[in-house]
């Protein structure tokens, strides 16, 4: 491993060469032209939207990063837990909205808690059945098990879809869209009510999580297990209980994110609903330094903003690729992520 | 062995391979239908891919989970070259295909070099996510290119015609698989392969002993990618039409699953797992229709078997250590499979529900008793667990089923509409993946290569335990 000074020097040198090349080959005039043609008026709006999207990524990334912190496991089934959360929210909405007598706020509360509870139960079940028997097995086998579980959930959902097609009633259910908040300070900046509520709710959830992890006894146990699994067990911490709680919290956050995404953004429900958000959130967790809770939030927001900046720049096609490009560049210069510990991991 | 004898063996095996390919192409392949041919060809292709990923993942220990990217690069590059430069009638198709395989290999090897570079700094899960990201970037870039067909797909045709180019013969698939397996095997047999194993076991120690770990890791990536690129070129000229769906993330995961299930680091394991894991879901395609209740019964049977086996395994370990375990496992496996199919079959019949249920539970119980009973007396505690599980499950699930029947939504889901069992193949496949990993976390062959020793051991014949390094 080279030291950090060398990598910074290397990075600066690469940057200098790039700028020189750009100047030599005359990229600057076209670049200025390109910059002039962008829609600068939309930039602030897109950043706001990016932060809102990032809050979803951050919530999912928290589940990834917490599970990784405790078990050193990439939980590939997490994206599918997210998908099931959206599924539950949709079906709760379909079953109850038909009756039309239900208060919309009550319905929304039911949706978010319903999907959180079902996701938590699902996450715990997956951990019990698929991960716990393999606790001492090679890590790659647990990874394959996680992939198997994720495929199983996807394909089972496809089976259900064949019988009853996915509902699409978000426009009726979402009451937030009637609210539009203008922010006079910045002129034309508007917030869709749904996105604002989504953002607020995810911030609340993150603060609650932060309080839980840093201020409660269970949270301290969780940090201890994450620091050193076997020593924590020796010190009398019930490791299995901590792992279960980790899965409950992570999956419930994914469920909340799914419900908010489904109602506020109205993404249509498909079997690959959880695939790309899941992978992007995982990338966000790695970007922030996997196993690190503030890192996951930071990474999630960065991903969201970067994605919508690419959309703003007019490269809609590449919005899914930008997450990975940023990740590769960050990891090349900081191999343990932005806030990750510098300890060398032994694979 | 003398040098002359070594050469004799080499020539003879080369001759045997050529004879085999000739037989395959002229005798075996025409005797099979189109579908059987296709199954074998794609199965061989997956065996090639699994072996090529095994070189990176299993032998060198670099955690790469974006292997479909190299496959994709080989497929698209060779397809583009064919579209622009191939004219039908000017050159023998199979010669051109060989050229295209080289082109695909070179293109993918360059990509492998690019991906191999970060492996110098990253390790473990960080490397995994970079390879995954690379795969996605390649897919997204291709999706954005109009000239590569975007998300519609690309028809591989000659420059002077519009017809899809389907020029890959059967023998080529077998030859490629044999080639890749032979290269990997010979690499491990010679001193050139030892650095790869050293890097896997302990990178720091390896570099301390003078192994050039940088060169080793990048070589592994380049070689593995080149093999995958060859497979890609063959695939695109076999199908005549390629889409992004054939190279997505799930494809990468599938190849990785093949490697791990075969046993990380085992070449034969990867090849066998690649071939049979492709055949498994495909062979389930033509099953007859089943009712939702049969599916539900099957799911219940799986859960019962899982719970019972997890509860009783520790007693099995206590009561039957060492000898006889192989036979015991085979009986158990047959018993479990039998029970699962029995449960499946019974649930699909139209007899009163309670009868169905109790009979299928009994069948599963019988199988479990077979699984966890040795030739001698069953362990009483184990038996107690089994009875307890069944009691609990009957008590819990019968009302649950009645509840499902009385609810309009779920009874619609389960009862009235029947599933094509072919649609069940991917849930079944993924469940198999999980179950195999739970029962054999090391993969089917572990680090070992395939040998007939276990059969000999089973029948008490003389055998020698031979292990490959690692």
Of A162, A286, A345, the CB nearest to B423: A162
Alpha helix segments (H runs only) across A37-77: 43-71
Helix (H) or strand (E) holding B362: helix B353-371
Q: Least CA distance to A7: which residue of chain B?
A: B121
Helix (H) or strand (E) holding A190: strand A190-192
State how many domains chain A has: 2
Q: Least CA distance to B61: which residue of chain A?
A: A347
Q: Least CA distance to B436: which residue of chain A?
A: A145
Domain membership flag for residue A31: no
Q: At which residue do the structure tokens 């390629």 appear?
A: B242
CA B84 to chain centre: 34
Distance (Å, rounded) from C-alpha B264 to C-alpha B261? 8
Q: At which residue do the structure tokens 């939030």 appear?
A: A297
Decide if pLDDT at B389 tops 80.
Answer: no
Decide if pLDDT at B390 tops 70.
Answer: no
* Torsion angles phi and psi, residue A273, rounded to 5: -55, -40
Of B409, B429, B441, the CB nearest to A134: B441
Residues A283 and A221 in one domain: no
Q: What percent of chain B has pLDDT over 70?
A: 66
**Which burial class, exposed, middle or buried, applies to B429 when counting CB atoms under 10 A from its CB (0-12, 13-18, 19+)?**
buried
Q: What percent of chain B has pLDDT over 90?
A: 23
Quote the mean pLDDT of chain B: 76
- Shortest distance, CA A94 to any CA of chain B (angstroms): 12
Q: Which domain holds residue A298?
A: 276-347
Distance (Å, rounded) from C-alpha B185 to C-alpha B268? 9
B70, B38, B40, B76: which is closest to B52 by C-alpha?
A: B70
Distance (Å, rounded) from C-alpha B61 to C-alpha B198? 9
User: According to the model, what pLDDT value does residue B330 have?
Assistant: 52
Q: How confident is the model at residue B376 (pLDDT cuts 50, 70, 90)?
A: very low
8 Å CB contact of B118 and A286: no
Residues A305 and A252 in one domain: no
Instruction: Please list every residue in chain A whose beta carbon sits closer than 8 Å to the beta carbon of residue B415.
Output: none
Instruction: Please list every residue in chain B whose beta carbon sits closer than 8 Å to the beta carbon of residue A138.
Output: 264, 441-442
The residues that bridge with B241 in the sheet, in sequence order, are B155
8 Å CB contact of A151 and B429: yes
- Each residue's pLDDT tens digit, B140-183: 899 888 888 877 888 888 888 888 888 888 899 999 999 999 99
Residues A156 and A230 in one domain: yes
Overall average pLDDT of the B275-281 stretch: 83
Helix (H) or strand (E) holding A236: none
User: According to the model, what pLDDT value does residue B163 have?
Assistant: 83
Distance (Å, rounded) from C-alpha B229 to C-alpha B101? 7
Residues A189 and A227 in one domain: yes
CB count, 10 Å around CB of A257?
32
The residues that bridge with B164 in the sheet, in sequence order, are B157
Q: Which of A75, A149, A151 to mutate to test the interface with B (most CBs of B within 10 A)?
A: A151
Domain membership flag for residue A293: yes
B136, B64, B70: which is closest to B105 by C-alpha?
A: B70
Distance (Å, rounded) from C-alpha A203 to C-alpha A128? 30
Out of A248-257, B127-136, B340-349, pick the least confident: B340-349
Residues A232 and A177 in one domain: yes
Residues A69 and A199 in one domain: yes
Overall average pLDDT of the B387-413 stretch: 56
Residues A114 and A210 in one domain: yes
* Dihedral, CA of residue B106, residue B108, residue B109 and residue B110, to nearest 10: 90
User: According to the model, what pLDDT value does residue A61 have?
Assistant: 94
Q: Strand B418-420 vs strand B241-242: parallel, antiparallel, or unpaired?
A: unpaired
**Which burial class, exposed, middle or buried, applies to B19 when counting CB atoms under 10 A from its CB (0-12, 13-18, 19+)?**
exposed
Q: Which residues contact A152 (CB under 8 A, 6 or more apart)?
A: B427, B430, B431, B434
Q: How confident is the model at residue B108 (pLDDT cuts 50, 70, 90)?
A: very high
Decide if pLDDT at B209 tops 50.
Answer: yes
Q: Least CA distance to A139: which residue of chain B?
A: B441
B268, B18, B5, B219: which is closest to B115 by C-alpha?
A: B219
The residues that bridge with B418 in the sheet, in sequence order, are B291
Q: Are A134 and A147 in contact (CB under 8 A)?
A: no
Residues 383-412 of B with CB under 8 A from A: 409, 412
CB count, 10 Å around CB of A320?
18
Overall average pLDDT of the B341-352 stretch: 53
Of B57, B249, B417, the CB nearest to A163: B417
Residues A282 and A320 in one domain: yes
Of A159, A323, A331, the CB nearest to B126: A331
Overall average pLDDT of the B293-308 stretch: 59
Domain membership flag for residue A229: yes
Residues 34-73 of A with CB under 8 A from B: 68, 72
CB count, 10 Å around CB of A249?
25
- Shortest distance, CA B9 to any CA of chain A (angstroms): 38
Most trustworthy range by pLDDT among A44-48, A282-286, B225-229, B392-396: B225-229
Residues 196-255 of A with CB under 8 A from B: none
The tens-digit pLDDT sequence of chain A (347 residues) is 455 667 777 778 888 888 777 776 766 667 777 777 777 777 877 888 888 889 999 999 999 999 998 888 888 899 999 999 988 887 787 777 665 566 777 878 888 899 999 999 999 999 988 888 888 888 888 888 888 898 888 888 877 766 565 555 455 555 545 455 555 555 556 666 667 778 888 899 999 999 999 999 999 999 999 888 889 999 999 999 999 999 999 999 999 998 888 777 666 677 778 888 898 999 999 888 888 889 999 999 999 999 998 888 888 888 888 888 888 888 877 877 888 765 544 43
Q: Which residues contact A86 (CB under 8 A, 6 or more apart)?
A: A115, A258, A259, A261, A262, A267, A269, A273, A274
Of B125, B250, B434, the CB nearest to A130: B434
CB count, 10 Å around CB of B152?
11
Q: Which residues contact B427 (CB under 8 A, 6 or more apart)?
A: A152, A155, A156, A159
Q: Least CA distance to A158: which residue of chain B?
A: B423
Instruction: Please list every residue in chain A whose beta carbon sits closer than 8 Å to the beta carbon of residue B429.
Output: 151
DSSP code string of B117-148 = TGGGT--THHHHHHHHHHHHHHHHHHHH-GGG
Residues A320 and A304 in one domain: yes
- Shortest distance, CA B440 to any CA of chain A (angstroms): 9
Domain membership flag for residue A88: yes
User: According to the model, what pLDDT value does residue B467 have?
Assistant: 44
Residues 269-298 of A with CB under 8 A from B: 275, 279, 282-283, 286, 290
User: According to the model, what pLDDT value does residue B377 have?
Assistant: 41
Q: Least CA distance to A324: which residue of chain B?
A: B133
Interface residue A163 vs chain B (CB under 8 A): yes
Domains of chain B, by residue range, sit at 10-283, 289-439
User: According to the model, what pLDDT value does residue B75 have?
Assistant: 95
Q: How confident is the model at residue B223 (pLDDT cuts 50, 70, 90)?
A: very high
CB count, 10 Å around CB of A144?
27
Residue where a domain stops, chosen among A211, A244, A273: A273
Q: How confident is the model at residue B292 (pLDDT cuts 50, 70, 90)?
A: low
Domain membership flag for residue A311: yes
Distance (Å, rounded) from C-alpha A26 to C-alpha A19? 10
Residues A316 and A244 in one domain: no
Q: How far is CA A109 from CA A196, A264, B255, B465, in A?
A: 16, 14, 42, 63
Longest distance between any two alpha carbons in chain B, whole Å: 79
Domain membership flag for residue A23: no
Residue where a domain stops, chosen among A208, A239, A273: A273
CATH: 1.10.3470, 3.30.2420, 2.60.40, 1.10.1760. Which one for B10-283?
A: 1.10.3470
Interface residue A160 vs chain B (CB under 8 A): yes
Domain membership flag for residue A56: no
Residues 41-70 of B with CB under 8 A from A: 57, 61, 63
Residue where a domain stops, chosen among A232, A248, A273: A273
């Amino acid at each position: 491993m080279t030291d950090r000074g060398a990598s910074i020097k290397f990075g600066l040198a690469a940057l200098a060469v790039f700028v020189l090349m750009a100047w030599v080959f005359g990229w600057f005039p076209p670049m200025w032209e390109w910059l002039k043609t962008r829609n600068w008026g939309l930039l602030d709006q897109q950043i706001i939207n990016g932060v809102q999207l990032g809050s979803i990524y951050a919530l999912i990334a928290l589940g990834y990063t917490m599970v990784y912190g405790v078990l050193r496991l990439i939980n590939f089934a997490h994206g599918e837990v997210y998908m099931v959360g959206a599924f539950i929210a949709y079906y709760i909405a379909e079953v109850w909205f038909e009756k039309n007598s239900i208060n919309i706020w009550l319905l929304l509360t039911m949706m978010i808690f319903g999907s959180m509870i079902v996701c938590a139960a699902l996450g715990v079940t997956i951990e019990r059945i698929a991960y716990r028997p393999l606790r001492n097995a090679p890590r790659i086998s647990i990874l394959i098990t996680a992939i198997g579980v994720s495929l199983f959930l996807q394909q089972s959902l496809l089976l259900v879809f064949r019988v009853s097609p996915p509902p699409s009633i978000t426009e009726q259910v979402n009451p937030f869209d009637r609210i539009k908040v203008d922010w006079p300070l910045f002129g034309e900046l508007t917030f869709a009510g749904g996105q604002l509520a989504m953002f607020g709710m995810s911030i609340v959830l993150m603060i609650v999580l932060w309080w839980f992890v840093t201020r409660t006894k269970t949270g301290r146990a969780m940090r201890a297990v994450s620091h050193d699994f076997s020593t924590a067990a020796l010190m009398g911490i019930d490791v299995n209980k901590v792992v279960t709680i980790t899965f409950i919290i992570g999956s419930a956050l994914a469920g909340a994110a799914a419900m908010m995404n489904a109602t506020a953004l109205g993404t249509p429900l498909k079997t690959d609903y959880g695939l790309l958000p899941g992978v992007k959130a995982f990338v966000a967790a790695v970007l922030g330094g996997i196993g690190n809770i503030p890192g996951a939030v930071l990474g999630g927001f960065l991903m969201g903003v970067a994605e919508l900046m690419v959309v703003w720049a007019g490269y809609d096609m590449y919005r899914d690729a930008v997450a990975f490009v940023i990740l590769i560049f960050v990891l090349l210069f900081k191999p343990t992520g932005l806030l990750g510990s510098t300890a060398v991991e032994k694979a | 062995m003398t040098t002359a004898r070594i050469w004799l063996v080499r020539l003879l095996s080369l001759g045997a391979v050529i004879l085999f390919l000739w037989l395959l192409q002229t005798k075996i392949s025409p005797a099979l239908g189109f579908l059987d041919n296709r199954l074998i060809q794609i199965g061989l292709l997956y065996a090639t891919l699994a072996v090529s990923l095994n070189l990176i993942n299993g032998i060198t220990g670099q955690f790469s989970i974006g292997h479909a990217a190299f496959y994709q690069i080989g497929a698209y590059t060779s397809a583009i070259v064919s579209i622009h430069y191939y004219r039908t009638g000017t050159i023998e198709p199979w010669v051109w295909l060989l050229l295209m395989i080289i082109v695909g290999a070179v293109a993918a090897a360059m990509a492998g070099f690019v991906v191999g570079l970060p492996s110098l700094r990253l390790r473990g899960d960080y490397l995994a996510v970079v390879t995954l990201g690379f795969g996605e970037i390649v897919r997204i870039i291709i999706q954005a290119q109009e000239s590569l067909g975007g998300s519609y797909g690309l028809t591989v045709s000659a420059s002077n015609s519009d017809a899809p180019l389907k020029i890959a013969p059967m023998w080529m698939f077998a030859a490629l698989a044999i080639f890749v397996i032979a290269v990997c095997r010979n690499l491990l047999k010679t001193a050139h392969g030892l650095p790869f194993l050293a890097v896997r076991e302990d990178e720091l120690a390896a570099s301390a002993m003078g192994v050039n770990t940088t060169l080793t890791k990048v070589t592994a990536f380049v070689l593995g990618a080149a093999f995958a690129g060859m497979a890609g070129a063959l695939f695109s000229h076999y199908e005549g039409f390629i889409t992004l769906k054939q190279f997505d993330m799930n494809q990468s995961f599938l190849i990785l699953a093949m490697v791990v299930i075969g046993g990380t680091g085992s070449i034969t394991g990867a090849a066998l797992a690649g071939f049979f894991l492709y055949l498994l879901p495909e062979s389930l395609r033509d099953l007859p229709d089943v009712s939702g209740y049969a599916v539900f019964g099957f799911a219940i049977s799986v859960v019962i078997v899982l719970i019972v086996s997890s509860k009783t395994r520790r007693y099995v370990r206590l009561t039957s250590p060492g000898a006889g375990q192989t036979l015991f496992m085979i009986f158990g496996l047959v018993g479990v499979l039998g029970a699962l199919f029995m449960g499946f079959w019974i649930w699909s019949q139209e007899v009163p529900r309670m009868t169905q249920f109790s009979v299928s539970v009994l069948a599963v119980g019988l199988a479990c008793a077979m699984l966890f009973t040795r030739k001698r007396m069953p362990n009483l505690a184990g038996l107690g667990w089994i009875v307890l599980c069944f009691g609990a499950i009957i008590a819990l699930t019968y009302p649950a089923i009645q509840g499902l029947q009385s609810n309009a939504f779920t009874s619609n889901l389960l009862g009235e509409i029947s599933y094509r069992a072919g649609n069940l193949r991917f849930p079944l496949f993924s469940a198999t993946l999980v179950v195999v990993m739970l029962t054999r976390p090391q993969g089917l062959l572990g680090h070992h290569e395939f040998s007939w020793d276990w059969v000999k051991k089973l029948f008490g014949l003389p055998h020698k335990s031979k292990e490959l390094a690692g």
